[in-house]
Amino acid sequence: MKLWLVRHARPLIDAGVCYGALDVPADDVATRAAAAQLAISLPQTRFLSTSPLQRCEQLTQYLRGLRADLIPNVDNRLAEMNFGTWEGRRWDAIGQTALAAWTDDFAQHPPGGGESVRAFMARVEAAMVQTATNMAVEIAADIATGIETEAIWITHAGVIRAATLIAGGVRQIERADQWPVNGPAWGETVVLDL
C-alpha cells in the first residue's frame, strides 16, 4: 500500500510569515501547473483526501477537472499545524522568548496557544491509520485484481514531515532538532509505503 503525499502550490503570503492553519489561497498559475503534472503522475484510486484549507482545495479542484476518476474527500486532520496567535505574524516578530518556550518543550508546548507537536502528530497518525484501514478493506475486496491499492493526500509540508516520521516508526518526537528541517517543495509529491 502506498500513500502519495502532495504539497499545495506556493501560497499568496509574504515569505517569513507564519501561516500554518491560516487559510490563504495559493498562486493560481502555480496551482494549475502543479495539477497538470499531477494529473499525469498520480495513480488511479478511490482514496483522495484533501486538507480543508483553500490552498489545498484549489489544487484538488484543478486536479479533479483534469482527472474525473479522482473523487476527493475533505479531511480536517490533513490541515497544517495550528500556530494560534502566531498565525499571520512574521516569525522574526514573534520574539525569542516565545520561540524558546516552544523549542524548550517542543513536544507539548502549543505555539501561540495553538496545537502542540504531540497533538499534531497524533492527528496525522490517526488519519494514516484510517487511510491504511480503508485501503486494507479494498485490498481484501479486490484481491483477485492484483492491482496495488494507493491513496493520495493533498496537504501541507508539516503534515508530510509528520507522516514521513510516523511511516519511519517515529510516532512522537521530544526535541526541536528531531523535526525534519527539509520538506517537500511546492507541488511536490512524497510517496510512503504503509
The predicted-structure confidence for 162-173, as pLDDT tens digits, reads as follows 999 999 999 999
Output the pLDDT for position 136.
81
Residue 13, Cβ density class (10 Å: 0-12 exposed, 13-18 middle, ≥19 buried)? middle
Residue 189 pLDDT level (bands cut at 50, 70, 90): very high
By C-alpha distance, which of 69, 74, 45 is closest to 58?
74
**What are the distances in angstroms from CA 79 to CA 27, 47, 75, 154?**
18, 17, 8, 10
Output the pLDDT for position 139.
67
pTM passes above 0.75: yes
Each residue's pLDDT tens digit, 61-74: 999 999 999 999 99
Q: For all residues of the chain together, what is the average pLDDT?
A: 93
Per residue, what are the HEC states of 73-122?
Answer: EECHHHCCCCCHHHCCCEHHHHCHHHHHHHHHCCCCCCHHHCCCHHHHHH
Whether residue 76 is predicted with pLDDT greater than 60 in this model: the reply is yes
Each residue's pLDDT tens digit, 80-131: 999 999 999 999 999 999 999 999 999 999 999 999 999 999 999 999 999 9
Whether residue 75 is predicted with pLDDT greater than 80 in this model: the reply is yes
% of residues, the chain, pLDDT over 90: 85
Each residue's pLDDT tens digit, 143-155: 555 556 799 999 9
Output the pLDDT for position 194.
83
